[in-house]
Homo-oligomer: A and B are copies of this chain.
Amino acid sequence: MTITSSAGVFLAPKSVAVVGATPDKGKLASVILESMKNSAFGGNDHEQVMNDHEQVINVYAVNPKYKTIDNAPCYSSISDIGEDIDVAIFAVPAAITPGLLRDCANRIKGAVIIGGGFGEAGAAGLALEQEIKEIVRRTGVRVIGPNCMGIYDTISKLDTFFIPPERIKRPFAGGLSIISQSGSFAVTAMDELSADGIGVARVISYGNKADVNESDCLDMLCDDTHTHAVALYIESVDDGRRFVESARRCALKKPVMAVKVGKTEVSATAARSHTGAIAGRYEFYRAAFKKAGVIELNGYEDFMAACKVYGAKLPVVNGKRVMIITDGGGIGVALADECAAQGLSMPLPGAELEKPLGKIFPPYVAVSNPVDLTGSVSDEMYADALETAMTGTAYDMAIVAVLWGPPGLTDKLPAMLAQKAVVFKKPVIICSPGGQYTRERVRLFENCGLPVFPAPVGAVRAAALLAKGARQRQ
């Protein structure tokens, strides 16, 4: 068979083998085999999964200890399968991984090595990782990992994330792709996105990057039509020049956002013991992001805010002029403070808006920015205020801060706001702080595709990230 050097095989494998497959339900390999089989239909001698291109994926179990697993055949080695394999998933102890990889390297295109105990775990582990690098160099096989979660892909249906579905939910299909050096970070983000109703295309956790690194992942996603935006979690970049090139190429086609953790000496030490990464000075990363047109994210919240707004398929933003509409004066002022702090502008309604806005409000509502509709608000007042303010060219986006206390507000409000947003084609971000009743209403906004943030900082940060995206495109 021809081995191509492209890592692209990881995004569209037609055959997958789980090396280390086991009937023991507690083990990682078992979770992976289960995940792969969850959307499977029976084949003759193996499981088959249909991907989104309606292609069949063949799924093979490999372990010399078993003849069958759950009544499906189990192969003693990849060579025994009788078909070349696109992606082999290695869920075996670190010590035997290099040997097994070497034995099958000419029959597979790509390997995902999920186990730990390599470069992050001292001298012996480092030697094993060196062996893997040597196999890659010699054979051209591509490797993701070791010490990673691998790939969760809603398009190809590849799913090597060894997380039981009871505790961690996987997001549905969407346009956002995530590249993460940390597996736990990727898993937590996925779980949170799933709870917040945001879908993903591909999630790649690349761990110690014995071969495939952040730049390879960016190259893969650059031409991927399923990926509309990319969010990166980075602890370290080895080849800065290549990273800037890959990131810039990708950022020309779609928004690329990145968080770099391990900013200080102490936290960089933590990163080193986590994935063995040498973190480097943060200033270099900041400069690289800027050069590449990558939106810089600051920590976990920022990463999640970026995923929420860029995963929500909001209309494209052309500037940073924000209109705030609220029924709570105090929250309005807090949002205005935050907008100023984050570099967004909040122009007052001009002469052309004063009259139409004034006409739809009772006299106690000040025609201003924020517009404070007060506790006498109704669904219609919110919808009318939003439509009137956002039609025309005065504002680039709206933050609607909803306090659910006023009795004039009903569960119809989210859909009414979303309908208006479809017409004027500008992003609407919801800020809605509060307790139980309020939290139960978050889903109503999410179901209409409106991103919701409980408190002002998050909502304004989301707006600022959209504005940054607008600047990067110019």
Contacts and interface: CB of A to CB of B under 8 A. Distances in A.
Interface string A3-43: 00000000000000000000000100000000000000000
A261 B300 contact: no
A187 B336 contact: no
Contacts of A456: 299-301
A52 interface: no
Contacts of A271: 329, 333
A315 interface: no
Interface in A159-204: 163-164, 166-169, 180-188, 191-196
Contact of A403 (B184, B346, B372): B184
Interface in A423-462: 433-439, 455-458
Interface residues of A, number: 81
Contacts of A333: 182, 235, 261-262, 267, 270-271, 274
A469 interface: no
Interface string A364-379: 1010111010110000
Given A328-B184, A330-B185, A434-B192, A168 B338 contact: no
A337 B301 CA distance: 13
A274 B372 contact: yes
Given A330-B233, A368-B269, A304 B184 contact: no
A292 to B, nearest CB: 21
B455 A301 contact: yes
A406 to B, nearest CB: 8
B263 A337 contact: yes
Nearest to A265: B340
Given A304-B455, A337-B261, A434-B188, A270 B404 contact: no
A117 interface: yes
Contacts of A195: 434-436, 439
Contact of A334 (B26, B168, B261, B368): B261
A296 to B, nearest CB: 13
A437 B167 contact: yes
A372 B185 CA distance: 13
Contacts of A196: 435
A262 B274 CA distance: 42
Contacts of A404: 167-168
Given A26-B407, A299-B456, A337-B299, A364 B267 contact: no
A235 B336 CA distance: 13
Contacts of A436: 169, 191, 194-195
Given A192-B433, A433-B300, A405 B163 contact: yes
Nearest to A409: B167
A275 interface: yes
Given A262-B333, A333-B267, A403-B188, A338 B299 contact: yes
A273 B372 contact: yes
Nearest to A170: B435
A368 to B, nearest CB: 6
A116 interface: yes
Contact of A266 (B273, B328, B346): B346
A293 interface: no
A281 to B, nearest CB: 14
Nearest to A363: B121
A460 to B, nearest CB: 9
A196 B193 CA distance: 22
A233 B456 CA distance: 15
B184 A331 contact: yes
A150 interface: no
A264 interface: yes
Interface of A: 26, 116-117, 121, 163-164, 166-169, 180-188, 191-196, 233, 235, 261-264, 266-267, 269-271, 273-275, 299-301, 304, 327-334, 336-341, 346, 364, 366, 368-370, 372, 374-375, 403-405, 407, 433-439, 455-458
23 contacts: A26-B407, A116-B364, A116-B374, A117-B364, A182-B333, A184-B331, A185-B334, A186-B330, A187-B403, A188-B434, A192-B433, A195-B434, A195-B435, A261-B333, A261-B334, A263-B341, A266-B346, A270-B329, A273-B372, A274-B329, A274-B330, A299-B334, A299-B457
Going nearest first, the 5 A-B pairs with the smallest beta carbon separation are: A182-B330, A185-B330, A267-B336, A195-B435, A184-B328
